[in-house]
Each structure stands twice: as C-alpha cells, then as structure tokens.
Amino acid sequence: MKEQEVDCFFTARFGATLSKNCNVYAYRQQTQKELTKIKKIVTALLMSFVITALAACASNDTSPNDTAISLKNALTFDDYEKFQSLFSEGKKGIATKALFEQLKDINSSRADFRSYTVITLDNGEMLLVNLTPNKEQAIQSITVIPEEHKELFSE
C-alpha cells in the first residue's frame, strides 16, 4: 500500500476525521468498484445475447407442428404480419386479410395438432400418413385417400 492509502485506511478504520485526500481516495475506490460491477453486467448481457443468437441459429429447423402452432398463435394474438410470414414466397398471395379474418372467426381457445403427410404414387393413388407428434415421427395410421377426396390434397 502507498503511504496515502495506509493513512486513509487507518483514518477510516479508527474513526478519525477524513482528510480531503482520504475523501478523494475513498471516492476513487468506490468509483472503481462501480465500474467493475458495470463491466460484469455488460459482459453478462453480451454473453446472453451471443448464446441466444447461437441458439436461434441452431434451431432454424422448424417442424410442421411448429409452423401450425405459429399459425394458431398468429390467429389468437391477431398478428397478421406473422400470419403472412408463414407462407412460402410463391404462396404469399393467398395470405390475404380476408382469409386471416375468416380463420380468426373460427379460431377457438383449444387446438389439437397432428402431423400428416400425403404420398402420391405414380399410379394415381394417394396415401394419407398420420405421424406421431414426437421427434421420431413414427407412423400412427395410413389411409388410402378415396378418389372423390384426392382433389383436396392436390395443388
């Protein structure tokens, strides 16, 4: 310790009146402690930002269920922009305000999300495959689509 620091330490420790130099020393010490706290906070915020950004980049794979849940949320929370963003570039034209309002009108508080995929065979037959809701995507059921309903699954 420097001589001034020792004098200020003993002055502060034993209750003597602080001199002007000791007040300056105490102020500098306090300021340095506050700056250290601020540096720690800024570092923690930057680290959390980086971790969040990395996690967001790593989880760009959205499942069909994730997209369906986003659609439900857009309808529930009246978020037309989110609704539009869920459509592929070539299909954004069908994401009209009228469709959004129509879907909002039939929206309810509860929903059941199921994953299906359609397999179109080269012989014209179509299969509707119901998949499990978990990550492994196992098959729950397969239905041959009747001729009169095939147009529902064609683009």
Share of the chain above pLDDT 90, in %: 40
pTM for the model stands at 0.54
- Separation CA 142–CA 130 (nearest Å): 6
pLDDT digits 0-9 by tens, 131-143: 887 777 789 999 9
**For residues 42, 45, 50 and 52, what is the CA-based torsion angle, rounded to 10 degrees?**
-170
Each residue of 28-45: pLDDT tens digit?
Answer: 777 888 888 888 888 888
Question: Cα(75)–Cα(81) distance, rounded to whole angstroms?
Answer: 11
Q: How far apart are CA 80 and CA 102, in angstroms?
A: 12
What is the rounded average pLDDT of the residues 61-73? 85
Q: Calculate the CA 8 to chain-centre distance.
A: 52
CB–CB of 139/127 below 8 Å?
no
- Residue 104 pLDDT exceeds 90: yes
